[in-house]
């Protein structure tokens, strides 16, 4: 990147703040879907590579690039030179001049790892500890890639299946009792939080020989049952067999299969969402969604992955809260003009906008910086600059844009091209 060109572009943006189109990168993790993201962003996937996540933000691992006039500037560089234009002064101070959230389009064709994310204190301590130990930032055995926590929200774009949080204790006891191969793992009396901790610690630290002795006959029984009558995606057994086919190899069963019986199976319809706080054990199984999180890439894994796992560290950060999953957005159909997905997070808020020719979207006064991604249709994003001139962008499906804080803007359907559009907007909570 030519530093003088970047400096000139940042100076131009400082003189004339305006909406900017962003070019975003893709993570090609093995679990990614082959079609959803390529079709969204309009690129051919002739190699049939997995497209797992489109990253929309300024995280150092894969930052977006802003188009400023004829130049392209990495978003972290733009923020360093224009933090109080993109953010306001208060947020620039509060978040150290960094964008506090990371937006993604996620598309999973097969299960992701059993995982959880640390809270802020745990992330800071873990990051400092691994730095002291001299573990390289890109080392495969690194747990903490930054010093931030990672609460996150997922909103379904397609039918979306996931595991989230431990089942309610009474339900958990019934499930264990109903699976012959697992019945010996159940506590003699009614399950408690303490017995849940003991159970999960036991299966996660169990010798591989014992793991195989329990799970191999279980998987074989399910294979025989599904051959007679196939399991549906609403059944845990379906996902056990799916995960086993991907992650169990060399004659050994992946211990992550235990978690499928212990966690809530969640089926989200398009527009429905769930929030994942620190310490919540979860795994996405299949589907596409819009995901937003604090600006972090800290993941502790415990199974169903070829990546680094650290069972002891995962067990240390888990909350072990058992109960039903709260699903947001239930009953809100695609005709809703604006759906706001509010969470306890101080770093992010996410909205879904439905825009028609008759009903454009107009920003609220004093809004936070906004990142937008067009999921459906074509839009014009226009704003009135500081000198009164109109600044605008024309974006199709898969287009991504940034609007600086407080700049009045409007999103409308492109004339004669699109009767309706759907845009997801990410920002910082106000109030």
Contact 372, 424 (CB under 8 A): yes
- How far is it, in rounded angstroms, from Cα 163 to Cα 326? 13
Compute the residue count for the chain: 431
Contact 118, 67 (CB under 8 A): no
- How far is it, in rounded angstroms, from Cα 342 to Cα 276? 12
Contact 267, 163 (CB under 8 A): no
Whole-angstrom distance between the N-terminal and C-terminal Cα of the chain? Answer: 38
In terms of Cα–Cα distance, which of 283, 310, 306 is closest to 204?
Answer: 310
- How far is it, in rounded angstroms, from Cα 409 to Cα 78? 20
Contact 284, 112 (CB under 8 A): yes
In terms of Cα–Cα distance, which of 84, 86, 91, 88 is closest to 75?
Answer: 86
Would you name the residues annotated as active-site residues?
301
How far from chain centre, in Å, is Cα 275? 10
């Amino acid at each position: 990147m030519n530093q003088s060109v970047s400096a000139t572009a940042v100076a131009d943006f400082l003189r004339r703040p305006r909406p900017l189109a962003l070019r975003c990168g893709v993570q090609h993790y093995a679990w990614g879907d082959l079609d959803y993201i390529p079709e969204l962003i309009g690129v051919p996937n002739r190699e049939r590579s997995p497209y797992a996540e489109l990253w929309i933000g300024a995280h150092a691992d894969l930052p977006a690039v802003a188009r400023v006039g004829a130049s392209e500037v990495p978003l972290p560089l733009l923020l360093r030179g224009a933090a109080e234009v993109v953010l306001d002064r208060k947020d620039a101070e509060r978040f150290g001049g960094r964008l506090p959230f990371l937006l993604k389009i996620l598309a999973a064709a097969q299960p992701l790892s059993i995982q959880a994310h640390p809270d802020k204190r745990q992330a800071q301590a873990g990051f400092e500890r691994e730095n002291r130990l001299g573990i390289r930032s890109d080392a495969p055995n690194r747990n903490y890639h930054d010093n931030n926590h990672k609460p996150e929200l997922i909103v379904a774009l397609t039918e979306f299946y996931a595991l989230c949080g431990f089942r309610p204790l009474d339900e958990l006891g019934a499930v264990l009792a109903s699976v012959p191969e697992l019945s010996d793992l159940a506590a003699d009396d009614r399950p408690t939080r303490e017995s849940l901790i003991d159970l999960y610690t036991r299966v996660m630290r169990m010798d591989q020989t014992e793991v195989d002795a329990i799970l191999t006959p279980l998987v074989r029984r399910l294979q025989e049952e599904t051959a007679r009558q196939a399991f549906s995606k609403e059944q845990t057994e379906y996902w056990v067999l799916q995960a086993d086919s991907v992650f169990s190899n060399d004659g050994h069963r992946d211990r992550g299969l235990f978690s499928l019986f212990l966690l809530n199976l969640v089926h989200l319809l398009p527009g429905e969402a769930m929030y994942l706080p620190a310490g919540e054990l979860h795994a996405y199984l299949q589907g596409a969604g819009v995901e937003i999180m604090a600006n972090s890439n800290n993941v502790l894994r415990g199974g169903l992955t070829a990546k680094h796992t650290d069972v002891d560290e995962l067990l240390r950060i888990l909350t072990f809260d058992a109960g039903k999953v709260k699903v947001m957005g239930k009953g809100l159909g695609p005709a809703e003009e604006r759906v706001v997905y509010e969470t306890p997070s101080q770093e992010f808020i996410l909205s879904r906008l439905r825009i028609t020719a008759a009903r454009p979207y107009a920003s609220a006064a004093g809004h936070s910086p906004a990142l937008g991604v067009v999921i459906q249709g074509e839009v014009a994003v226009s704003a009135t600059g500081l000198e009164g001139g109109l600044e605008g962008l024309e974006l199709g499906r898969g287009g991504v844009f940034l609007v600086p804080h407080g700049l009045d803007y409007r999103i409308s359907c492109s004339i004669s091209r699109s009767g309706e559009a759907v845009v997801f907007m990410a920002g910082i909570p106000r109030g």
